[in-house]
Amino acid sequence: MTAPSGREILLGEIRRGLRAFCLERWQSLHENYARVNLSDSGVAPLTLAELEELGLDLGGLRGLELGYGWTRGSPELRSRISELYGGEVGEGEILVTAGSAEANLAAAMSLVEEGDLVGVDVPNYMQVPGLVRFLGARARELKRTHPSWRFPVGEAVRFIEEEKPKVVFVCNPNNPTATVLRESEVEEMAEAARRAGALLVFDEVYWGSEQGGDRPSALEIAGKDVALSVCGLSKVYGMPGLRLGWLAGRRDLVERAWAVKDYVSIAPSILSDRIASTVLTRDNVAKLRKRAREIVKGNFELLLKTIDSDLLQPLPVEGGAFAWAKVPWAEDTLSLCELVFARRGVLVNPGECFENPGFLRIGLGQRQESFAASLRELVEALREARSTLERASLEAAAEVKGC
């Protein structure tokens, strides 16, 4: 076997059937070297000192024994999480996981078998599409398209009713397009799923960031008879370093997923469990959601003021902490991102990582104090890259003429 190189690391296969996870690897390769990091999808992480202000007793952690704890999450934490779902699920219907990434893995592995027909939302974070293809499912892509980038609900409903898939995986609010499903759309899908005996798995890790204000989770709207919810503390709540997520839904389904987790991480970190159990009060949840919305709203307004539409054309942000923007002058956005990073140390995510070249995902979660400067750097870096690409294409045209 030869070592993969260049684009292969991002876009090739790790082994037969398992595509590289382009987005995660792109960020891992660059984020710790970036001078200006606009690649994150969550809001600025909180410090332990900020968590202290939210009621965390740091001194009290000194006596904590670093054991395995409760492998499916402590009852205290599961009961806090169940409160988020307005009574739709009890603490026995929650599995705490190592980030929502593990919840997605456990859901996909426990629900999807070789040959199963499943629907997947594309573009998406791309973990679930990658996993279901690897699991040998017959994956039907439910494609969001330019210019609305909304989930094709009508097509999904027809697909559910006519072809009776086992599961449909939806990312809502959607990463990378920052669009949000309407309640009526979730209801429509839930009714179709109920009639067809299908399940809906909503990756809702950006739930709570909706710019339109608080709304119930898709699990509450759809009902646990047909829906599962994947969520966590990494994005809206600013605690990705806790690596804390969860799967919520019907007990039998959550318990099947728990059996997968036994093979992966065994337990969430007991330290993270304790911190999350303390911090995840009703008041703090409201405060942190408000913080997330305000950061994103302010940063997006600034982005619209700073960036001309001939440079970038961002879609309105309905949820999430990022903007999905068309680059009207470049199709190969992976090369563009590589250029901008190599020349200026500015990191954004290429559309190729979402199977949609020609677009960028730009993080809007940075603390507002630093975002204006980051944005200026991004604009300069993109302008410089555009001139470089224009020069290169003129030179290439002259060479062809010369021949």
Ligand X SMILES: Cc1ncc(COP(=O)(O)O)c(C=O)c1O
Minimum distance between the CB of residue 206 and ligand X, rounded to whole angstroms? Answer: 7
Q: Do the beta carbons of residue 189 and residue 168 sit within 8 Å? A: yes
Q: Which residue in 69, 20, 56 sits closest to 276, CA to CA?
A: 56
Q: Which is nearer to ligand X, 142 or 382 (CB)?
A: 142
End-to-end CA distance of the chain: 41
Interacting residues toward ligand X by CB under 6 A: 41, 99-101, 104, 125, 171, 175, 203, 205, 232, 234, 240, 245
Measured CA to CA, the distance from residue 323 to residue 395 in angstroms comes to 33
Q: Which is nearer to ligand X, 18 or 397 (CB)?
A: 18
Minimum distance between the CB of residue 54 and ligand X, rounded to whole angstroms? Answer: 19
Q: Which is nearer to ligand X, 82 or 100 (CB)?
A: 100
Measured CA to CA, the distance from residue 10 to residue 24 in angstroms comes to 9
Q: Which is nearer to ligand X, 38 or 307 (CB)?
A: 38
| Cα torsion 157, 163, 169, 171: sign | negative
Q: Do the beta carbons of residue 320 and residue 206 sit within 8 Å? A: yes
Helices 183-196 and 153-163 pack at an angle, to 10 degrees, of: 10
Q: Which is nearer to ligand X, 94 or 196 (CB)?
A: 94
Minimum distance between the CB of residue 261 and ligand X, rounded to whole angstroms? Answer: 13
Q: Which is nearer to ligand X, 74 or 104 (CB)?
A: 104
Minimum distance between the CB of residue 149 and ligand X, rounded to whole angstroms? Answer: 15
Measured CA to CA, the distance from residue 228 to residue 201 in angstroms comes to 5
Q: Closest residue to ligand X, Cβ-based?
A: 99
Q: Do the beta carbons of residue 393 and residue 333 sit within 8 Å? A: no
Minimum distance between the CB of residue 390 and ligand X, rounded to whole angstroms? Answer: 33
Q: Which residue in 102, 337, 366, 360 sits closest to 233, CA to CA?
A: 102
Minimum distance between the CB of residue 126 and ligand X, rounded to whole angstroms? Answer: 9
Q: Which is nearer to ligand X, 323 or 382 (CB)?
A: 323
Q: Name the CA radius of gyration of the chain, rounded.
A: 21
Q: Which residue in 232, 240, 167, 183 sits closest to 203, CA to CA?
A: 232
Minimum distance between the CB of residue 151 and ligand X, rounded to whole angstroms? Answer: 13
